[in-house]
Structure 1
Amino acid sequence: MLSKQLEQRENHPALSGKKIFILSASTFKKALDPEAPKCLSLRIEKLPGGESVGYAFQSWMGEGFPIHRGDIFHTINRLRKLRLNKRALEVMEWVVRERPYRLKELDYSYLLEFTTKHHGISHGEKLFLCVPSEFQNELLYNNLVISCLEKGVIRLSLDYMKKMREHGHPISYLIFNRLIILHSSPGSRKMIPKNPCSNEG
């Protein structure tokens, strides 16, 4: 099972680590622009639509600034508020690929969140299986369930909730809040059992 997961990881574009961003001479010149924003998140937000996030990271590092976990999390929270899901996904794909710091569960959680938002649940499920086993924990499970509920895939979310219960993972109150909202919707009410964590059905 482990060898299969490692093979899947090698083949997953977000985790393979095979892409390398090369900074051209013209791009390096732009990196030294005194007018460039002094905040990494703003630098990424101001990128033109067709520009790679790699340019923002390389220009940031070209000016002597390290890339810290806090910079990335601040950037992701900003992009989420702006609903720039594709750009947020690009940021996390770069982080997982280039590894500017030691990755933790929250990094993979963000990658999973924006993969499902931009590409759909099936891509999120595939990514989940490719994440190192030590990070396939309650945070990632809760994230996957919430993503399923946001997409309206109720039965699948209930299946993952049962798996969480089997593994002893706590279920976030955010999931139950979402279920309550969905239960108030006439179209979804029949699909949600009274006890979504039961072993029945």
Structure 2
Amino acid sequence: MHVDSSPRVERSHTRRLSAEFVESWRDSHPETNIVYRDIGRNPIPHVTEEWIGAAFTPTNQRTSAQLDTLALSDRLVDELLEADVYVMGIPMYNFGVSSGFKAYIDQIVRIGRTFLFEPQDPGAIYKPLLTGKTLYVITASGDSGYEPGGVNARINHLAPYLHTVFQFIGVTDISVISVGSDEFGGERLQDSLARARKAIAEISAR
């Protein structure tokens, strides 16, 4: 499953690199079936009071209006369940994910669909429902040094958040490929892009 979330088009590093990742993957795994969703140019709506009411109503008790309210969310969840590998282009906005990608997260973290809530089990109240999935995140930022040990690592709220939320629903195999220095451009940006492309090639070859 290939997801792009940047509102940028031609100027987007995450779009360009996620497309290169998918093409490289397809070259190494020609049998792969790829599903694409562009939430940057086709934004996902934020949740509403009606959505919350529908999501927390037992499936067999939902009205037709509630089923319509959850229709998009159900399609998004189905896409996740059917895919084995996720490739997601997610630019860093103000040290975290964009509001558009957060809206996507809120639509897919669904009780009874991607996780269970079982308060009677004190050992595991929350149980993830996605298993055997792999997530590759391609992110881009204006500055650099957001990687572990980097000068900006303490204000990187994108990677830790993605690890937290996807692990919560069961995706534990997560890799992050980062591009930095977009605001600086020049050699710094080109070096960062080269490192990202090298990582993509190595992953696809595996």
**TM-score between the two structures when normalised by the length of structure 2:** 0.28
Greater RCO between the two (CA within 8 Å, min separation 6)?
2
More helix by share: 1
Q: Which structure would you say has the larger Rg?
A: 1
- Could you say which structure has the higher strand fraction? 2
